[in-house]
Every structure is written in structure tokens, then in C-alpha cells.
Amino acid sequence: MAPPLLRVHRLEVRPPGAATSICRDVSFDLAGGERVALVGPSGAGKTTLLRALNGSVAALSGRIDLAGETVNPSATGALRGLRRRIAVIPQKHDLVEPLRVYHNVMAGALGRWSDAHALRFLFWPLAAELGEAQAALERVGLGDKLRARAGTLSGGQQQRVAIARALVQRPLLLLADEPVASLDPRLAHQALQLLCRLAEDDGIAVICSLHQPDLARQYFPRTIEMEAGRLVGDRTRDARPQTVPAAPAMRQERAARLA
């Protein structure tokens, strides 16, 4: 059997300045393309775990393997290599508002671009690059916003730009930290629906922290539950649905686009 995409083994994390460890003895495996919801009360260590996975905080002990390689974030080059393969969608909007939408979307490509390439694109984007940004934006339903200033978009639109940035990054794994916390229920459904469908289309594995168990059940075949820094549950639904259920509003939108 092929090794799992991600293997977390007895991970203990203590962020700088913290008196005690926030994550303790965390172990789990994740297969390529698998979607997992990470649930638990606030303060359970969900965010810290996600940050450890992306190398933002170093592990105190334990091991993380990604695609068969052990992650060692203390080496700078290795950290950049790791981050290139893991995309992050944050809780709050995090776009660089003074820049244009295509800058923000193509920021996803910075990990594979040289510095010279990055600087050139800032002032002189090529048609092919803009085409890539446009394609990603169309997948999140923002095809008309390519040249808009990021600061002029609504909160929901900004989040979709962040998803487009993650797509451009072409990651193996996508980490989403409470991506719907600041959205109303209708938009939350739309966002999760979009996220999961795109991940499925591109074969990207997803770990998404959520504090609404019903959303987790609805969109994620597998749920990992954390409490006080430990894993307390890991359930996979028996009958995995063939497709992601479409949110009601989304269905209408899609119908409208087809028409």
C-alpha cells in the first residue's frame, strides 16, 4: 500500500511563549484527496495543529511526514518547500488590499517563482499569467474581478479570492482555519460547497477546522474531534456520498449560469 499523503505521529506542539503544550500526542493519517473536518470547542488546539502542519510553529516532539518526506521546518529551504505544497485559507480575509485581484491570486505562485519573476509580474504581468489568474477566478465565480482592487471586494468575495490563490498554488493539501466563521449561514454553505467541490476536482486533500458539527457532517466524509489538545474522536461516514451536496443558492446560481 502506498504511504498516506500526510502522517502525523505523536505530535506535541508548544508555541513560543506558551506555558504548556497546546497539542499533545496527536496522531492521524490522511490519504491523498481526502477531506477531513477538524472539530472541537474553541481553545481545543485546532488552529495550533493547523499551524504546526504548515510549519508556522515548530513541533516540540513527534513527526510529520508529507508525501513520504519528514517535515523539518527549522531548515528554511525545507520550510518554503513544505509551504509550497500546502495551501492555507485563513479565518479572516487576508488579502493585500492595495494590490489588484490578479496580484493576490497569483501570489499563490510565488513559491515556485524566482524573485525576479515575482518582481516582474508585479509591474508587468504576461497574458499567460493573467489567463491563469482568470481561470482560477472563474472557478470561484469571480471571473469579472480580475483587475479590481482587492480592497473594493466584499468579505465573501475576498474569501473566494483567497480560495483562487490556493488553487493557483496547486497544493497537495489545503488547510482551512474556520473559513466560514465570519460568514452568515447561507454564505457559509456556499463557501464550503465551493471549497469542497474544487478540492475534489483537483484531487487536493483538505483539513478544515469548523466549530459547527452539522456543517462538518454535511460536507466532510471524515471528522476528527479535538479537545484540550488531544484527538478524542476520528469518525468516517459509512456511506460516502458520490458528490458534494449543492447548497440551495448555489444550485440556482449554477442553473442560471447554464441557462
Partner 1 sequence: MNAWRSLLGTLAGFFPPDLSPHYLRALLPPVAETIGMTAGAMLLAYAVSLPVGLWIGARLPGTRVLAGLLAGIRAVPDLTLAIFCVIALGVGPGAGMLALAIYYAAALGKVFGDLCRTADPAPLEALRAAGASRMQVALVGMLPLKLRDILSYGSYEFESAIRASVIVGAVGGGGLGAELVGTLNAFDFQRTATLILVLVALVSLFDQLAVVLRREPRWLVALLPPALYCAWRFWPPSASLAHAASAFAGMLPPGLDAAAWRRLPDLVAQTLGMAVFGTALGAAAALPLALLSARNLSPVVIALPVRRLLEALRAVPEVVWGLVLVASAGIGPVAGTLALAVHSAGCLGRLFAESVENVRREPLIAVASTGASGVAVAAYATLPLALAPLAVHTLFRLEWNVRQATVVGMIGAGGIGQALYEAQQLFFYRRMMAYLLLTWVLVVAVDRSSEWTRRRFRWMALAPEEIAS
Candidate segments 3-11, 33-41, 87-95, 133-141, binder of partner 1 by CB under 8 A: 87-95
Q: Which string of x and - marks every residue 43-62 that binds partner 1 (by CB under 8 A)?
A: -----------x-x------
158 or 223: CB nearest partner 1: 158
Tell me which of 35, 139, 165, 189 binds partner 1, using CB under 8 A.
Answer: 165
By the rule CB under 8 A, 21 interacts with partner 1:
no
DSSP H or E stretch at residue 8: strand 6-13
Nearest-angstrom CA–CA distance, 124 and 118: 10
Half-sphere CA count of 176, side-chain side, radius 13 A: 31
Q: Look at residue 100 and give its three-state secondary structure.
A: strand
**Least distance in angstroms from the C-beta of 102 to partner 1:** 12
Candidate segments 79-87, 181-189, 232-240, 246-254, binder of partner 1 by CB under 8 A: 79-87
**Least distance in angstroms from the C-beta of 168 to partner 1:** 9
Tell me which of 27, 68, 70, 97 binds partner 1, using CB under 8 A.
Answer: 97
How far, in whole angstroms, is CA 45 from its chain's centroid? Answer: 17
By the rule CB under 8 A, 4 interacts with partner 1:
no
Candidate segments 40-48, 88-96, 127-135, 237-245, binder of partner 1 by CB under 8 A: 88-96
Q: Is beta strand 222-227 parallel, antiparallel or unpaired with respect to 35-39?
A: parallel
* Rounded alpha-carbon distances, angstroms, from residue 45 to 26, 69, 176: 10, 24, 14
Residue 151 CB contacts under 8 Å (≥ 6 apart), including other chains: 95, 97, 98
Nearest-angstrom CA–CA distance, 151 and 58: 33
Q: Which residues make up the interface to partner 1 (CB under 8 A)?
A: 54, 56, 80-88, 90, 92-99, 103, 107-113, 115, 118-119, 122, 162, 165, 169
